[in-house]
Amino acid sequence: MLALLSQSPILFLLLVAALLIAITVHEFMHAWTANYLGDPTAKYMGRISLNPIHHLDPIGTIAIFLIGIGWGKPVQINERNFKNPRMGSAIVSIVGPLSNLFVAFIFSIPVLLHTIPTDSYVYLLFFLIVRINILLMILNLIPIPPLDGSKVLYFFLPRNVDIVKLETYGPMILLALIAFSFFDPNGGLFALIFRVSQPILNLLGFSSVPF
């Protein structure tokens, strides 16, 4: 991304804006839902906010600019505050990816209605917002810890399954998949996510890349 800053400053700024929207809405919905279900932990930490500063992780943000992939600040919850801890945790987790799908849909409406020219910066911004939100949704639905999909998976697993082992080895598996993606851009995890995202983008009116 840093190279993009010198090559196309406007595209860089639009990309940053799209990333901030995707990460902020994602983490905000985790925090808001947890509080709604009875756990005020995130609320007390100031996470029920649409201010991106409250949701940016320093290392994750640096990683985005250096290697093109990063993360937001995880929303902390206390499952014991939920009436049903397993279900509460699953709901809080799934609303993150669902919120990204919702944002993507909202920003695709002007494109589907053909109300903005395809050669404008507005169209480019909307494309980036939709694409990044769809990519973030798909990535987080993968049932590997610490991604959101893992908490949804736990809800459906038998109670005698050792979740601790999944939490221990999950991050290492995820890092291995990410590392493999850099060595094999056409066949790794990222390539798979992009392939899965394209049919969704087509449905939302973005059948081609505007740059």
Enter the tokens of residue 191.
Answer: 């390539």
Q: State what percent of residues in the chain have pLDDT above 90.
A: 80
Integer CA distances (angstroms), 24 to 73, 98, 112, 123, in order:
10, 13, 25, 21
| pLDDT, tens digit, 9 for 90 and up, residues 1-37 | 778 878 899 999 999 999 999 999 999 999 999 999 9
Q: What pLDDT is recorded for position 59?
A: 93
| Whole-angstrom Cα Rg for the chain | 18
Q: What pLDDT is recorded for position 105?
A: 98
Q: Which residue has the tokens 């990816």?
A: 97
On the 0-12 / 13-18 / 19+ scale of CB atoms within 10 A, 31 is: buried
Catalytic (active-site) positions: 27
More confident residue, 90 or 186: 90
Mean pLDDT of 111-120: 94
Question: Is it the case that residue 130 has pLDDT exceeding 90?
Answer: yes
Give the integer Cα–Cα distance in Å for 85 and 81: 7
pTM: 0.94
3-state SS, 55-70, equals HECHHHHHHHHHHCCC
Interior angle at CA 200, CA 64 and CA 90, nearest 5: 70
Interior angle at CA 121, CA 15 and CA 185, nearest 5: 40
Mean pLDDT of 64-89: 92
Q: What pLDDT is recorded for position 165?
A: 81
Mean pLDDT over the full length of the chain:
93
| pLDDT, tens digit, 9 for 90 and up, residues 133-176 | 999 999 999 999 999 999 999 999 988 887 888 899 999 999 99
